[in-house]
Amino acid sequence: MIEKIISWSMHNRFFVWMGILLILAGGVYSVQQTPVDAIPDLSENQVIVYTEWMGRNPRIMEDQVTYPLVANLQGIPRIKSVRAASMFGMSFIFVVFQDEEDIYWARTRVLERLNYAQRFLPPGITPSLGPDGTGLGHVFWYTLEAPGYNLGELRALQDWYIKFALQNTEGVSEVASFGGFQKRYQVNIDPHKLVYYGIPLMEVTNAIARNNRDVGGSIYEINSSGYLVRGLGYITDINDIKDIAVGSYKSVPITINDVASVQVTGDLRLGITDLNGEGEVVGGIVISRYGENAKVVIDRVKTRIAEIEKGLPPGVKFKVAYDRSDLIEAAIATLKEALWEEILVVSLVVTLFMFHLRSAAVALITIPLSILIGFMLIRFFDISLNIMSLGGIALAIGDLVDAGIVMAENAYKSLTNEMLQNPEP
Segments forming the whole domain that contains residue 229: 183-266
Assess if residue 166 is contained within a domain: no
pLDDT at 349: 74
Using CB atoms within 10 A of its CB, is residue 94 exposed (0-12), middle (13-18) or buried (19+)?
A: middle
Q: Find the range with the poorest average confidence among 45-54, 322-331, 350-359.
A: 350-359
Q: What is the pLDDT of residues 255-266, one digit of tens each?
A: 999 999 999 888
Q: Rounded mean pLDDT of 357-372?
A: 77
CATH number of the domain within which 91 lies: 3.30.70.1430
- Global pTM? 0.77
Radius of gyration for the alpha carbons in the chain, expressed in angstroms and rounded: 34
pLDDT at 248 over 70: yes
Give the C-alpha separation, 197 to 91, whole Å: 40
For residues 29 and 53, membership in a common domain is answered with: no
Residue 100 has pLDDT above 60, yes or no: yes
Is the domain of 193 the same as that of 248?
yes
CB neighbour list of residue 123: distance below 8 Å, 6 or more residues apart: none
Buried b (16+ CB within 10 A) or exposed e, 135-160: ebbebbbbbbbbeebebbbbbbbbbe
Q: How confident is the model at residue 372 (pLDDT cuts 50, 70, 90)?
A: confident
Over residues 166-185, the pLDDT tens digits come to 998 999 999 999 988 888 88
What is the percent of the chain where pLDDT is above 90? Answer: 35
Same domain, 9 and 81: no
Total structural domains in the chain? 3
| Domain annotation covers residue 62 | yes
Q: Tell me: pLDDT of 188 over 60.
A: yes
Q: State yes or no: pLDDT of 213 exceeds 70.
A: yes
On whether residue 159 sits in a domain, the answer given is no
Per residue in 220-235, pLDDT (tens digit) is: 888 888 888 888 888 8
Nearest to 287, CA basis, from 199, 172, 194:
172
In angstroms, the CA 133 to CA 141 distance is 15
**Is the pLDDT confidence value at 339 over 80?**
no
pLDDT at 425: 53
Q: Is the dihedral of CA 414, 415, 419, 422 positive or negative?
A: positive
pLDDT band at 215 (very low <50, low <70, confident <90, very high): confident
Least confident residue range of 105-109, 318-322, 357-361: 357-361
* Whether residue 117 is found in the same domain as residue 54: yes
**Domain annotation covers residue 322:** no
Among 280-289, 305-314, 389-398, name the one with the lowest average pLDDT. Answer: 389-398
Instruction: Indicate whether 367 pLDDT > 60.
Output: yes
6 or 321, which is more confident? 321
